[in-house]
Chain A
């Protein structure tokens, strides 16, 4: 099973952004400031692996995602809410992170429903310093994805071997 690394987390977020929203992301050129008007989405998971995937992203990224998904002639009032779009991005990114983390091992995972709160910028330095956090520049918008996860107890893993 591959180790969790910031690179694995970043590759997962890049895949989710590209396939879901046709948005390209890359590492920022220097230390990134916390995103403005951002939300903080936490998705718990349990089973063969246990932990939380956390997405911090500006609402503007949700607007862009929703707009990219629908045809260009769609009126603004018909677009899904940016919170909904970011919640789904977190859901998709969480699935991709866990699949990459599992490698070729059999996994049984129960994914929880997302918890969404406004992001407190005071938390940004600690989030960026956490061991499995990636910060990316998504077409000019700063977004962070963090994995706080540990292998489940051996008994849980044996059940899915």
Chain B
């Protein structure tokens, strides 16, 4: 069964690159996109999403605020979230884990790092490659 993934990033380039990376990683997925957290919450309200992959720094609503909103809503409180960001802060992964983020991949990412991160949060069917993804 295809995974239903919502990609949240204000850059259309990164959304396109993530879509390709997911495809190259061999993950069968139905993909939806949103340019910021607010738009993501609107899409999530209608259901049908298994995983959110989000950037941190976006206009309107950033990734951290999005995660807090998801956790505060019983309907999405357990939604797995991967953060994909260029944020260079050393302890960002730990901070994100503290608010319930399942994984943190730094940009620039590779298809392998995306595959490894997805393998950590999605159902069986994806086996980790030797990539550089780090669990938050």
**B20 CB to closest chain A CB, in angstroms?**
6
- Of A28-36, A106-114, A135-143, the stretch lying at the interface with chain B is A106-114
- In the complex, what distance in Å separates the CA atom of A81 from the CA atom of B15? 12
Indicate if the CB atoms of B13 and A88 lie closer than 8 Å: yes
Known A65-B13, A80-B16, A84-B13; judge A109-B107 contact (CB<8 A): no
- Which residues of A lie under 8 Å from residue B86 when comparing CB positions? 91-92, 94-96, 111
- Which residues of A lie under 8 Å from residue B108 when comparing CB positions? 15-16, 19-20, 92, 96
Task: Decide yes or no whether B71 CB sits under 8 A from chain A.
Answer: no
Task: Decide yes or no whether A99 CB sits under 8 A from chain B.
Answer: yes
**B22 CB to closest chain A CB, in angstroms?**
13
- Of B45-53, B73-81, B88-96, B120-128, the stretch lying at the interface with chain A is B88-96
Known A15-B108, A66-B16, A113-B57; judge A106-B11 contact (CB<8 A): no
Q: Which range contains the number of A residues in contact with the other chain? A: 20 to 34
- Which residues of B lie under 8 Å from residue A149 when comparing CB positions? none
Indicate if the CB atoms of A84 and B88 lie closer than 8 Å: no
Known A16-B108, A88-B13; judge A106-B91 contact (CB<8 A): yes
Closest to B12 in A: A80
Within 8 A of B (CB), among A12-66: 15-16, 19-20, 47, 65-66
Q: How many inter-chain residue pairs (CB < 8 Å) link A and B?
A: 78
Among candidates A15, A80, A94, A113, residue contacting B13 with C-beta atoms closer than 8 Å: A80
Most A Cβ at <10 Å: residue of B16, B107, B108: B108
Among candidates A47, A69, A98, residue contacting B20 with C-beta atoms closer than 8 Å: A69
Task: Decide yes or no whether B14 CB sits under 8 A from chain A.
Answer: yes
- In the complex, what distance in Å separates the CA atom of A107 from the CA atom of B17? 27
- In the complex, what distance in Å separates the CA atom of A160 from the CA atom of B91? 9
- In the complex, what distance in Å separates the CA atom of A47 from the CA atom of B87? 12
Task: Decide yes or no whether B106 CB sits under 8 A from chain A.
Answer: yes
- In the complex, what distance in Å separates the CA atom of A70 from the CA atom of B13? 9
Closest to B109 in A: A19
Indicate if the CB atoms of A80 and B20 lie closer than 8 Å: no
Task: Decide yes or no whether B59 CB sits under 8 A from chain A.
Answer: yes
- In the complex, what distance in Å separates the CA atom of A102 from the CA atom of B89? 9
Indicate if the CB atoms of A85 and B89 lie closer than 8 Å: no
Indicate if the CB atoms of B14 and A98 lie closer than 8 Å: no
Closest to A99 in B: B88
**B34 CB to closest chain A CB, in angstroms?**
15
- 16 A-B pairs within 8 Å (CB atoms) are namely A20-B17, A20-B107, A81-B12, A84-B12, A84-B13, A87-B11, A88-B13, A91-B107, A92-B86, A92-B108, A95-B87, A95-B106, A107-B88, A107-B90, A108-B89, A113-B59
Having A80-B13, A112-B57, one finds 9 other A-B pairs with CB under 8 Å, namely A20-B108, A69-B20, A70-B16, A92-B107, A95-B107, A96-B88, A102-B88, A109-B89, A111-B86
